[in-house]
Amino acid sequence: MGGALPIEPLATSAIRALCNPEAELYLIEELIADNKLIEQAADEVRAVDFSAALHARIFTRMIAEHASGRRVEAITLEPFFREDEDWISGKMFGRLSGADINASRDRSRIRGYVDHLVELSKRRRLVAGLQDAIASARTIEVPLLELATHIDEAVAVITEAEQTEEHGTLGEYAAQVIADWGKPIHGVRSGLIKSLDDVTGTLETSDTVVVAGGTGMGKTAFASSYAIGVAQVGQGVLMISQEMTGVQLARRAIADASTLIGQAVDHRGIRNQSLDGEHMMRMTRTAEKLSELPIEVVPAAGMTVDKLRRVIRRQRRRFQAKGTELMLVVVDYLQLMQPSRAGMSAYESATEISKGLKLLAGSENVVMMALSQLNRNMHKRASHKPELADLRDSGQIEQDASTIILLHREEQFVRNEEPKTKPRDSLEYTDWETQLRACLGRIEFIVPKSRHGTTGKALGWFFGKYQAVRGNEHDPSDYGGFYV
Whole-number pLDDT of residue 1 = 44
Whole-number pLDDT of residue 115 = 94
Secondary-structure percent of the chain, ordered helix, strand, coil, rounded to 5? 50, 15, 35
Residue 12 binned pLDDT confidence (cut-offs 50, 70, 90): low
Q: For residue 129, which of 107, 90, 108, 158 has the smallest C-alpha distance?
A: 158
Cβ neighbour number for residue 254 with a 10 Å cutoff: 23
Q: Is-cis flag, bond preceding 333, omega within 30?
A: yes
Question: Mean of the pLDDT values across residues 180-187?
Answer: 88
**Would the pLDDT of 162 be above 60?**
no
Whole-number pLDDT of residue 155 = 77
- Cα–Cα distance list, 377 to 335, 392, 393, 404 (Å): 17, 10, 12, 18
* CA atoms of 374 and 386, how far apart (whole Å): 8
DSSP calls for 86-126: HHHHTTHHHHHHTHHHH----HHHHHHHHHHHHHHHHHHHH
Q: For residue 388, which of 459, 450, 438 has the smallest C-alpha distance?
A: 450
CB 199 within 8 A of CB 450: yes
Whole-number pLDDT of residue 100 = 75
Q: Enumerate domains of the chain plus CATH numbers.
A: 13-156 (1.10.860.10), 187-408+440-479 (3.40.50.300)
Task: Give per-residue pLDDT as tens, 450-471.
Answer: 988 789 999 999 999 999 999 9
Whole-number pLDDT of residue 484 = 58
For residue 468, list its beta bridge partners.
Answer: 463
pLDDT greater at residue 458 or residue 182: 458
* Half-sphere exposure (Cβ direction) of 424: Cα atoms closer than 13 Å: 1
Question: Mean of the pLDDT values across residues 172-199?
Answer: 92
Task: Give per-residue pLDDT as tens, 250-287.
Answer: 999 999 999 999 999 999 999 999 999 999 999 999 99
Question: Mean of the pLDDT values across residues 42-60?
Answer: 93
Residue 143 binned pLDDT confidence (cut-offs 50, 70, 90): confident
* CA atoms of 269 and 279, how far apart (whole Å): 9
pLDDT greater at residue 22 or residue 128: 22
Whole-number pLDDT of residue 10 = 46
- 29-65 burial code (b ≥16 CB/10 A, e <16): bbbbbeeebbbbbbbebbeebbbbebbbbbbeebbeb
Please provide the average confidence, as pLDDT, over all residues in the chain: 88
